[in-house]
Amino acid sequence: MSRRRAGRVAVVAVALAGGALLVAAALADTLTYYRTPAEVLGDPAGARERIRLGGDVVPGSLRRSGDLVVFRLAEGGREITVEQRGAPPETFREGEGAVVEGILSTDGVFRADHVVVRHGNEYGPVTASPEPAGAR
């Protein structure tokens, strides 16, 4: 390999490494990890940064006070109280799965600013109801 060619290869390698570092740095700021209540309660310090918390909304735990919505999310026998300001999605209900995005505060309450309702990925056709007599 000539010296000139080796120099070009080195320049290309440095440029690729620099680009990879820039992409990695940009992605690091946009990553939000998903955790369950058991994982968060097992390592509360890890939830001091923005995370997504998923679980089922505990029946009987949903309360609304003005624009504040308070409920508990449970997964694997562990529960975390969640506070969110603003209206949750219309399909948000007790007993249904939800994913919230926010930060665990020092008082143990998860402050969410975004709520997404989880749903199954099994869809089926709607069964037609029998046509009433004399409908034709």
SS3 state of residue 123: coil
Whether 18 contacts 70, CB under 8 Å: no
Q: Is 33 annotated as a binding residue?
A: no
Q: How far is CA 58 from CA 2, 4, 61, in A?
A: 70, 68, 6
| 114 known member of a binding site | no
Residues within the annotated binding site for heme? 119, 123
Residues within the annotated binding site? 119, 123
